[in-house]
């Protein structure tokens, strides 16, 4: 749940420009997804499934490189959570 808090904090600290609203929404939605997965009866399997979703999003053509990079970061974070390790922190973008 610490990582959920971190995602929410990164979303609130993300740049406020028009081009960054997708990042804020994506981080908040990711925090919700991760929170739901953590409350499942088998959170490891649920977070593993979420990892697969982020992997697919990271490989989607047509997305901006920033969007693909963020999906890949979240995929790696889910992998670390599945292994019981602390993921690399999400750093907010400069304003």
Residue 87 lies in a domain: no
Sequence-ordered list of residues with C-beta below 8 angstroms from that of 7, at least 6 positions apart, any chain: 27, 28, 30, 31, 34, 90
Please write the tens of the pLDDT for every residue from 61-89: 766 778 888 899 999 999 999 999 989 88
Residue 34 lies in a domain: yes
User: Residues 58, 30: contact at Cβ < 8 Å?
Assistant: no
Give the range of the structural domain holding residue 63, as residue numbers without chain letter.
2-82
Distance CA 67, CA 26 (A): 9
How many domains, the chain?
Answer: 1
Helices of type H across the chain: 2-13, 21-38, 43-58, 65-82
Q: Is the pLDDT of residue 6 over 90?
A: no
Residue 58 lies in a domain: yes
Higher-confidence residue of 11 and 30: namely 30
């Amino acid at each position: 749940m610490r990582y959920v808090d971190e995602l929410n904090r990164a979303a609130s600290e993300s740049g406020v420009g028009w081009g960054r609203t997708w990042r804020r929404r994506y981080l908040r939605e990711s925090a919700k997804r991760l929170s739901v997965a953590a409350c499942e009866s088998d959170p490891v399997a649920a977070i593993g499934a979420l990892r697969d979703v982020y992997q697919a999003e990271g490989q989607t053509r047509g997305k901006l490189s920033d969007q693909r990079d963020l999906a890949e970061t979240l995929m790696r974070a889910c992998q670390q959570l599945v292994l019981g390790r602390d993921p690399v922190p999400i750093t907010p973008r400069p304003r």
